[in-house]
A = this chain, B = another copy of it.
Amino acid sequence: MKLSQTEENYLKAIYNLAYANANNVSTTMISEAIKTKASSVTDMIKKLADKDLVHYKKYQGVSLTKIGQKIAVEIVRKHRLWEVFLLNKLNYNWDEVHELAEQLEHIKSDTLTDKLEAFLEFPTHDPHGDPIPDKEGNIEHHKDTMLSSVETEKSCVVIGIKDSSDPFLKFLDKLQIQLGSTLKVISKEPFDNSMLVKTESASISISNQISKNIFVKKL
């Protein structure tokens, strides 16, 4: 099945939204993710349903079919591998790779992805800590431990970023927080759920908004 870039982008958006929200994905959610109007989404959903890539009942939202899921995961795999390439080989920063990967993920080839993966020596995670699906589409998801749920006095290691938008990544750079950073929670403020955290280089106050977006592994 040969899909257009646009169709691929819809599938990926539905995949990501379904993963973050479990249930059926609404027209409006997709329209926000893709930055188009809801009416355009309805049009596309019908096309995808005709191709058996999504389950669709009018007014009830969509979910991916087996095939749709498979294709979406392939795109995610390509996206994340290209991100690794851009960071490791071309020396981009982690806040620059996403936009380029959005383009590169649509390159069509039967062999490219696997060759790229081998060249990168089979990375397991992308620059934002997201897991890279294997050739067969298997993917090892994060356990959902967020920094916000770490107890006072406990230490943890940063293993992923939930919101990997440009500004957030740049902000983390300023705090000198990166994948692999060890953080110790000094104290928590019940008032606003902010926490005082000791990084390798400083003690900083982190709002709940931020600590809810950092995946960690407790030590």
Nearest-neighbour CB distance to chain B for A92, whole angstroms, equals 7
Q: Tell me, yes or no, whether A107 is within 8 Å of chain B by CB.
A: yes
Q: Tell me, yes or no, whether A109 is within 8 Å of chain B by CB.
A: yes
Whether B115 contacts A109 by the Cβ 8 Å rule is no
Q: Tell me, yes or no, whether A119 is within 8 Å of chain B by CB.
A: yes
> Which residues of the partner chain B approach A116 to less than 8 Å between Cβ atoms?
90
Q: Tell me, yes or no, whether A172 is within 8 Å of chain B by CB.
A: no
Residue of B nearest to A103 (CB): B107
Whether A115 contacts B90 by the Cβ 8 Å rule is yes
Whether A107 contacts B100 by the Cβ 8 Å rule is yes
A interface list, Cβ under 8 A from B: 89-92, 100, 103-104, 107-109, 111-112, 115-116, 119
> Which residues of the partner chain B approach A109 to less than 8 Å between Cβ atoms?
100, 103
Whether B119 contacts A90 by the Cβ 8 Å rule is yes
Whether B89 contacts A112 by the Cβ 8 Å rule is no
> Which residues of the partner chain B approach A107 to less than 8 Å between Cβ atoms?
100, 103-104
Whether B103 contacts A108 by the Cβ 8 Å rule is yes
> Which residues of the partner chain B approach A104 to less than 8 Å between Cβ atoms?
107
Residue of B nearest to A108 (CB): B103
State the CA gap A106–B90 with chains docked (Å): 18
State the CA gap A104–B82 with chains docked (Å): 12
State the CA gap A6–B109 with chains docked (Å): 19
> Which residues of the partner chain B approach A115 to less than 8 Å between Cβ atoms?
90-92
Whether B100 contacts A112 by the Cβ 8 Å rule is yes
